[in-house]
Structure formats: C-alpha cells, structure tokens
Structure 1
C-alpha cells in the first residue's frame, strides 16, 4: 500500500468515525429532548387529570349551592386537559403504535368529557373512575418515556463507546503502520547507509513498508550494488596498478643489477689488458694485442649498452622500427663482421653459410642486425673454448630462416619456452653472467618484422639452435 492511500484510508475512517459520533450525539440529544418533553407533558396531563378527579370527588360531596361553581371548574380543567392532548401530537412518534396510543388517549379524553357533560350521580362515579384510570395511564406514559430515555442513553453509550474503541484501534493501527511502514524502513535505510559508508559487507536492505519506501529501498540497493561494483573494480585496478608498479620496481632493480654485472666484465677485461700492456711497454706485439682486446671488449660493451637501452625503450613503447626494402643476406654478413673480432678474442670460431643470392625483405636493417648480434653474442658466451658458432641462412618460398647454432651445454627442456623472457636466465646462464636481455630484445625485433624466434637443443650433439624466421618479399 502506498503512503497516499494509507493516509487517505485512515483519514476517511477517522472522519467517518467522527461523523458517526457527532450524528449519534445529535440524535441522542434530540431524542432526549423530545422524550423529556413527553415526560413533562405526561406529568402535566396526569396532574390535570388528578385535579379533575379531585374536583369530581369534591363535586360529589358538595351541596347544591356549590354545584354550578364546581361544574365550571371541572369544565375548565377538562378543556385544559383536552388542549394538552392536542399539544402533545407533535411529540408523538410517527409509527403506528404511537399514533394508535395517541388516538386511544384522545378518545378516552372525549369519553370523559362526554360523561362530565351529561352527568348524574352514576355518571359522576363513572367519570371519577375514568379520570383515575386516565391519570394512572398518564403516569405510566411518563415512566415509559423515562425508560425510553434510559434505554436511549444505554444504546447511545454503547455506540459512543464502540466508536471511541474504533478510534483507539484506528490510532493504534496508524501507529503500527507508521512504525512498520515508515520508521522501520527508514531505520533499515540508515543502517544500510552506515554499512555502505563503513564498507561492512553487502549494504542491502529488505524491501518493506509502504510502496514509496519499498521503491526507495530498491533504488538504494541498486545504488549500493553499483557503488560496490565500482569500488571492487577500482580496488582491482588499484591492486593491478600497485602490482604493476612493484613489477616495474623489481625490473628496475634487476635491470640495474644486471647492467652493473654486465658492464663490470668488459670493463675489467679492458682494465686488465691495459695494465698488462703497461707493465711491458717495450713489447710492441703485446701492446698491439692488448689494444685489440680492448677494442673488442669496447665493441662488446657498446653492443650491450645498445641492447639494454633498446629493450628499455621497447618496454616503454619508445623503440621504433623503420622498415624499408633490404637484403637479409647482406644484414647477416654485416652482423657476422661485427661479432667476428669479439669471437676471435674469446677463442670462438664463426662459420657463415649464407645464400649467395639476395634475400629481399622489408625491415629495419639496424634493428635486425642488432637482433642477430645479440643471438650470436649469446652463443659465444655459452660456447666452450675453441667452440664454433655456425650461421646458416635458407630461403624457402615466402619465408627466410636464419639458424644460429653453438656448441654450448644447451637449455633444459622446461626452460626453452622462457629463454626469450626479459631477465630470465637458466641455471647455466646465471653461472656465466649476463643480463638475460639479448634474446628478449631479439624476439621483440622479430615480432615487429612479422617473424618469430624459435629455440631448440641439438639432437645429435650438445648446443642450442636459435632460429629467426622472417617473411620474404616475392
């Protein structure tokens, strides 16, 4: 039920009760006034008839000299009685019984008047008896009117009591409706609001009370659900952002530690070569050999710095690729020439088997050369002394494949799928140093050129084979 309907129904019931109460009071007042008038009239008529009876008795006892005066007094009393009966007609109820009683009373009065008008000794005795009977009847009528008043008072009291009880029940029902329909739902909404503000579980409220408050509760539940969903979504986003920041911070720390470790090795080599050469300044061959090692280490250090910077830019989205038509075989030969001095200084041989014909592709030669050098450097690091790095390129239809094989210990099968992840190093890689960034950078460059990197262990002998596959321009 809506609040408007409840208030209208309560107001109508209260107005109806008050109307019944007022109507009952007016009816009782009017009935009591009419009955009191009848009592007064009945008592007055009884008094007139009693006087008339007394005059008749006195007439019977008086001597003849007093008969005329007594007859006049009796006639006056009779006229007064008849007049009172005439005046009583407007007080009589309209029902048939009341009208019949009034007609009978009027007939008795006329009968008495007739007896008095033609009286002898026997007639006066009859008049006396009739007047006494009329007086008794009038007194009975007065008692009946008094009883009617008492009965009307009892009936009116019961009705007023019933109406008062109904009003009390209506007030109680109104209070219960206000509690159950308004106060309790509002209290539930306040509690739900407190729970929503304090984030104490689901802030749902039960649909109760009047229709308007049920609609308000439904709207509150929808709002609470939307807020909780938004809070959960933003909390998840915040947790993800915090985790992302923690990951970035972890990668930053790892990057710095890797950089420091990666740069320490070539710097130590260059410093050692220079110190050895300075101890024997007269040995020109030793000086030249030391300078060659320093240059090779410097080139390796330069490539490592380029790799680190490139991968950092790739993760931030700042590293770009400028593709153009190029010859992949030429890029491979250039990469071979770049790493050859470092391979020689490391005691590692390089074997190049490239196609003599051009292999046309669309790509960025600098980035592709950087990727190939990173893969070759990785093979040099894991190859044993006097080992061999084999560079092999084959073109098959719309694909060109460059395979780089080393003589190292290979990679555990469980780690093959992760060696291209940034900073990942297998147990052998951690024992030999490095950043774990070269292969990750190579994979990023390959994917930007529409190709992919694969890694597999040699089936016949130890070593790892890393394959770069790129689309060829027809």
Structure 2
C-alpha cells in the first residue's frame, strides 16, 4: 500500500492496467468475431446439406433418402458430418450417433456434445420433420472449428501474458521517465533551498508540460534572485555607508573620555563605556554583514581549489578556544582523523570559529563540547555537539536567516549572523549543514549538534 502512495507508481500501474485492458478488449472482440464467423459458416454448411437432402426426399421419396443417408453414414465424404433418421418418438432408425441428447420433437436447430467421440466435440445440427412423421437431422461436428478457437484462446492467453509483461515494462519506463523529468526539478529545488541560488533547471526545448514547468521554475528563481540581490545590495550599501560615520562616532566618544569634566565623573565614564560597547556591536554587525555579502557573491569552489588539511584547521581552532572553554568551566573534546577538503582556508576557519563560539556560548558550565571529524563516503562529516538548551525542531531552518535570533537568546551578545555566515560558507564549498539534537545536558537539555558535510578530497597519490 505504501508503494501505491507514490504518484509514479500509480502512473506505472495505470499505464499497465490500461495496456492490459486494451489488449483484453481487443482479444475478446477478435475471439467473439472469429467464433461468430465460424458458427455462421457451420450453419451455412448444415443448412445447404439439409436442403439438398430435403429436395432429394421430395423428388425421389423416402426410400431414396434412406439409401442416401446409409451411404453417407457408411462411407462419409466428411467424417465430421452427422446424419440421423429418427422416428416420431426420437428413436434412431439410421444415424451416425447412437442418440441425440435432449431431443424434442419439432423442427429446430440443435447444439449438443457428441459424447461418443474421444474429444467430445460440439455438434451443430438442423432437425426437419418429414411428411411421414419421422425426423431428419443433419449436423456438423465443430471439431476443426473448436480446435481453431482453442488455438486462438491459447495464443491469446500467451499474448495476454506477454502483454502483461510488456505493459509492466511500458508502465515502469513511463514512470521512470516522468520521475527522471521531475527528479531534475526536485534536485534543483533541493539544492536551491540549501543555498545554491544560481542553479537553474535544464530546459530541453521540447515545449512539453515538463519543459514549460522548468521554464516557469527558472523564471521564478530569476525573480527571487533579483529580489534577493536588491535586498542584499541595499543592505550592503547601508552597512557600508553607516560604518564610516559610526567609526567617527566611536572615535569622538573615545576622545570624550579625556575631557576633564567627564573623566572626573564615574557616571559619565560608565555611560561612555556603554555607548562605546553599543557602537562596537554595530560595527561588528556591519563588518559581519559585509563579509557575508562578499561570501555569497563568490562562485562555488572548484575541485582544484586550495587543499585544506581540515584536521590541522580543527586543531588550530580548538587551541584558540581552549582557554575560553577553561574560563567557562567547560571541556573541549576533539575527535577525528586526517582529512582533506578543497576550499578557502580562511572561510573554513571562520566556519569553525562561529560553530565553536556558539557551542561554548550556550553550553552549560561543566558541560562538554565535542568537535568531531569523520569520512562519510565521498564527503567529510564535521560536527560540533554541545549540551546546551538546543533549538526546537520548528526553528532549525529560520535560525540560518540574517539577524534571526530565538526569543531565549535575546539577552546573549551577538550579531545574529553567525549561522548565516556558516550556511554561506558551506554553500560556497558545495556542502550542506543540518541541525539536530546534541548530547543531553544537565537538567535534560537536548543539546545541539551542527553537522556540516563537505566534498572530500582524496589524499594525493605518492609517486
């Protein structure tokens, strides 16, 4: 039943059933037409032979008719012909058969089975009433006709089996063709949703429904890309234009600390420090925003990009954050094997810094943050696990948006761009990032696990 929920499976079944039903209807029609034609010919043969015997009786009399019947019964020209002369009570006077099953005394057409023959063929016969009250029965064994019909039936059943197999193959081919056409659209949509906004669906130029959907989809993506570019450019301009006056404002606030009247007032100094902290936070946000825009504008990394020793990069980041972890009473645990990827080492370093900074920021005191690397087929699996409060499943996609912060994180310092930077870096390196529950922490907190998959670069062959 689960298989029939698939649209392509239902399509394959529908094509197979339609193919099979069409063959059954056609085969049944042919069989009925041939059977009708054979019976019509048999009736015509019997009718002609019976008419000849009736004329012989009228012109030559009863004795000549009986003589002719006995001659035909004794040395038949056609062994399938049946001749019977019956009295008024249905008793056989002369005949090919011992009796006539289901005999009734009137002129009519009969159809019965010749039980005296080994193959028990059908007999189609015409019964006539003679002037002396006796009955003349002329018939034809349908041995050849029924054999031909059986041959047609057996051939039709074999062809039906072949049609069922062919219908299944055609249905399977049709469903795979549809799935392949839709699969291209689905894979492109999946990769676009993962951040590869430059992808487009291939159009084969056929103009069919699938091709039109692909063109509409590409047009929609072009429109979305244009809107995103407009928003990004506007954001970049705002960030760039405001960074200079903010820098001048910070310099003036810092210079005000040297004013004697302000330097003598602890309250004024505290207010200046708060203003400087707010200004620094804005400058950090603008810098992160501009860095994010530059990363998103860059093309995806190529296979021949710089080779990055990921394990060395992880060790450097872990060494950098080891004092931070110790200061917060947390343990930093690194697990992995030497692995290589192709990409930008500075951006990958920034990715690790953002993930580790978040894990240490939200993890509880006394907790453990695990930074792990592993090979997964043709990919590198890089994960950062903490024991913090985690992220609800319904919010795990929107936390990658710019400036998106959950309500519980409003009091924490930060720009709200960390995971946006992570996703942009991962997308540029043709990878993927997934959020899931991490390690259970104190009080039953689910923790958070950020898993990044990047294309793995095989180690260079030793020559």
TM over 0.5: no
Between structure 1 and structure 2, the one with the greater Rg is: 1
The structure whose residues are more often strand, as a share, is 2
Q: TM-score, normalised by structure 1?
A: 0.35
Q: TM-score, normalised by structure 2?
A: 0.35
The structure whose residues are more often helix, as a share, is 1
